[in-house]
Amino acid sequence: MSNMREDMAYILAEEKEIKEICKRLGKQISEDYKDKDIFIVSVLKGAFVFCADVFRNIDIPCGIDFMAISSYGSGTTSGSIKLIKDLSVDIAGKDILIVEDILDSGMSLSYTIALLKTRNPNSIKICTLLDKPDRRKADIKADYVGKVIPDEFVVGYGLDYDEKYRNLPYIGVLKREIHENNKENING
């Protein structure tokens, strides 16, 4: 991992800070949903690491499933959003908590929410590890936010660049020279 750390302009969140974020969010979610039928929807691939850590910090009964939504094609923003993997359970009447790695433009998340609303859940809320409000295009706001970040290209802890860096235990800002040839592929 030492050579991957050298690819970072700087570290945005070390492993210890991320663990504290997951504990804080898990505690708050547990409190807010204690009398509800909470069901976690994790958005693949980027959110799987964060979702697992938050999930382990929730101390009330809850279900979980996974969706995959794509708005990036071969490293560039395609302009269209498509469902790659759908849920395998009925969510009607459940209180849905969508867990995302990063909320930037909000376009994919808007699509996901609209799709889930057609399935008659009781409620839908959003939990995101990272919130990048400077890139927001859709009118969307997370209910639970781990950390607000600047408009930088971040990797690690599930976030990737060209399917690399997801396995880092921290979140770093990738050096510009590594990703500058493909500026539209900001965290997919």
- Residue among 7, 95, 104, 131 flagged as catalytic: 104
Burial status of residue 86 (CB atoms within 10 A of its CB: 0-12, 13-18, 19 or more): exposed
Decide if 90 is catalytic.
no
Which tokens in the block code for residue 37? Answer: 């039928």
Using CA atoms, how far apart are residues 130 and 35, in angstroms rounded to an integer? 27
Using CA atoms, how far apart are residues 11 and 81, in angstroms rounded to an integer? 30
- Residue 136 amino acid letter: R
**Residue tagged 């492993």 (tokens):** 15
Q: Which residues are catalytic?
A: 104
